[in-house]
Amino acid sequence: DSPAAGSPIQPIIKDVGEVYSRLLDHRPVIQGEIRYFVKEFEEKRGLRELRVLENLKNTIFETNERVLPKCEQAMQDNLSETFRRLQAANAMIHRLQEREYEARKLQADKVMAREEKCIAHWEEFMKEQQNKRAEVDEEHRKAVERLKEQYSEMEKELAKYVSF
């Protein structure tokens, strides 16, 4: 129905259409490749993927049903044992701290007692020194008095002899 339907250009247009289809229109080839890929994937990989997913499902089920409860029980047992040991260690450390505190307190009390004893001894020593100083001062005063009397008597006697 086209004006070129009976003309000699029609075979050329048909040839150009075929060349265009073969060289530039890749849709039929790509669609064929896509169908081939999907067919291969579904036939070969589909079952393998299904088996992998089934194995994963079984592994997860086994882990949830068997391994996880065993792990939880082992963890609970170990944690309770560890907690018990920590409590025992804490009690021991507390007792050691109390002993150390008592020993330090006893040591401090001994030091205070020694210090008080030294202070008392020092005060007694200082009192003795004061008493001895007072005694020495008294003896010195008496000696000075005796010497004064002796010199005064000597002067009197000397005064008797000077009048000659």
Q: How far is residue 28's CA from residue 22's CA, in Å, rounded to a whole number?
A: 10
| Residues whose CB is less than 8 angstroms from the CB of residue 10 and which lie 6 or more positions away in sequence, other chains included | 4
Does the pLDDT value for residue 154 go beyond 90?
A: no
What is the residue extent of each domain of the chain?
A: 46-163
| Three-state SS at 6 | coil
| Residues whose CB is less than 8 angstroms from the CB of residue 13 and which lie 6 or more positions away in sequence, other chains included | 4
Q: Kindly report the pTM of this predicted structure.
A: 0.39
pLDDT tens across 37-52, in order?
Answer: 777 777 766 677 778 8
Do the Cβ atoms of 147 and 155 come closer than 8 Å?
A: no
Average pLDDT over residues 103-112: 95
Q: What pLDDT band is residue 83 in, cutting at 50, 70 and 90?
A: very high
Q: What pLDDT band is residue 119 in, cutting at 50, 70 and 90?
A: very high
